[in-house]
Amino acid sequence: MVAIVRGILALVGGVAGFELTSIMLDRTSFSSTADFLLLALGVVVVAAIGVVLGGIVGRWIVRLGGIIERAAARVSVVALIVTSVGLVIGLGVAALVSLGLKDLPIVGVYLLPLIFALCGYLFAFIAFKRHSDIARLVGVRSAGAPNAGGRAGTKILDTSVIIDARIGDIVPTHFIDGDLLVPNFVLEELQSIADSGDPLRRARGRRGLECVAALQRNYDRVIISDKDFPGLTEVDAKLLKLAKEMQAGILTTDYNLNKLAQIQGVEVLNVNELANALKPVVLPGESLEVRVIREGKEEDQGVAYLDDGTMVVIEGARRKVGQEVEVEVTSVLQNPSGKMVFTKLAS
């Protein structure tokens, strides 16, 4: 984008330099050689100025595009349409008002831009703030207010599950029913993470915003909600209150939010628990073929992994690192962070 803007402004600058130099040379009487050199110098100088300005303008356009992209991810299609209609109505009202003001002496001409800006902003602002009610009046399901008491099956996405991004793989399988609702305050938290000075946090935030954008592009069940609770500061507290009001569930990977929601009687779908539940079941006494990856923490232990990432601890395999071995399952430990399989070398 920066290179394109530089090229355009360099071309415009070259043409402008030629025209300006030609106008100046018409008032002088230099030789044809001098005229040619001055024309070339004018074109080069103004084109160079265009290249410099193009770099500045190009970088500004790229930054503005990023800001617009993040802002667009936080606003639903219904809100954009209703706000645009409000802006058009506001400009129409301003045009009618201007008919009576344009003939005022002295101040009439100067009032017109102010009237258009004020009416356009006022009507667009009102339309955006009340787009949920306006959409309901015309029979369109609003992204800001799914239904008075919430819609059965609605799931609210929290920050952790969006950053995790596995929700993008789960939704196409149709195991999750109902609408997927993303509150604006969650998008604001994602944006603050994406703007972080820490490269890792910044990458996580951008991945979350890309996940929301991908869900919006590929599925028509994604809703951006502008419902907020200014009296609450914590995002988790807002999520729980919104879920209670809408009688909706929460999709998360946050263990603490999971427990807090269960205490308050809010339905929770933890993606980590789903992933653990889908791992292959192994039972004590079962035989497995695994490759020993590294030594274990305890003496004479080796460690291997199943295809799904489940850790396998093998007694007596410390000297078998790098080898394929047959093991027998002795016990299985299930905890919130995952599953561990304890085994011994097959006799």
The full 3-state SS of 179-232, as one line of letters, equals CEEEEHHHHHHHHHHHCCCCHHHHHHHHHHHHHHHHHHHHCCCEEEECCCCCCC
Q: In terms of pLDDT, which residue wins out, 240 or 174?
A: 240
Q: What is the CATH number of domain 155-277?
A: 3.40.50.1010
Three-state secondary-structure class, residue 249: strand
What pLDDT is stored for residue 332 in this prediction? 84
Q: Which residues contact 44 (CB under 8 A, 6 or more apart)?
A: 14, 17
pLDDT at 108: 62
Residue 254: helix, strand or coil by DSSP?
Answer: coil
Buried b (16+ CB within 10 A) or exposed e, 49-87: ebeebbeebbeeeeeeeeeeebeebbbbebbeebbeebb
CA distance 146 to 148: 7
Q: Judge whether residue 187 has pLDDT over 80.
A: yes
Given this model, what pLDDT does residue 206 score? 92
Lowest-pLDDT choice from 153-162, 169-178, 253-262: 169-178
Residue whose C-alpha is closest to residue 70's, from 219, 198, 187: 187
Pairing of strands 180-183, 324-335: unpaired
pTM (two decimals) = 0.48
Side chain identity, residue 77: V
Residue 329 predicted with pLDDT over 80: yes
CB atoms within 10 A of CB 132: 22
Fold annotation for 287-345: OB fold (Dihydrolipoamide Acetyltransferase, E2P) (2.40.50)
Give the pairing of strands 180-183 and 338-345: unpaired
pLDDT of 143 higher than 70: no
Task: Tell me the mean pLDDT in the region 49-63.
Answer: 80
More confident residue, 176 or 30: 176
**Local confidence band at 318 (pLDDT 50, 70, 90 cut-offs):** confident
Exposed/middle/buried for residue 2 (C-beta within 10 Å: 0-12, 13-18, 19+):
middle
At 140, the pLDDT band (50, 70, 90 cuts) reads low
What does the mean pLDDT of the chain come to? Answer: 81
Beta bridge partners of 302: 295, 314
295, two tokens = 């030594």
What's the CA angle centered on 52, arms 48 and 56, to 5 degrees? 160
Window from 59-63, 129-133, 148-152 with minimum mean pLDDT: 148-152
- CA-to-CA distance for 252 and 272, rounded, in angstroms? 8
Taking residues 107-120, report their average pLDDT.
78
- Higher-pLDDT residue of 66 and 331 is 331
Position 139 confidence tier, pLDDT thresholds 50, 70, 90: low
Statement: residue 146 has pLDDT above 50: no
Structure tokens of 256? 């603490």
For residues 92 and 98, give the distance between their C-alpha atoms in angstroms, rounded to a whole number: 10
Highest mean pLDDT: which range of 4-8, 35-39, 137-141, 187-191: 187-191
Which tens digit of pLDDT belongs to each residue from 202-212? 999 999 999 98
Residue 176's pLDDT is what? 80
Q: For residues 235 and 24, what is the distance between their CA atoms, to the nearest angstrom?
A: 65
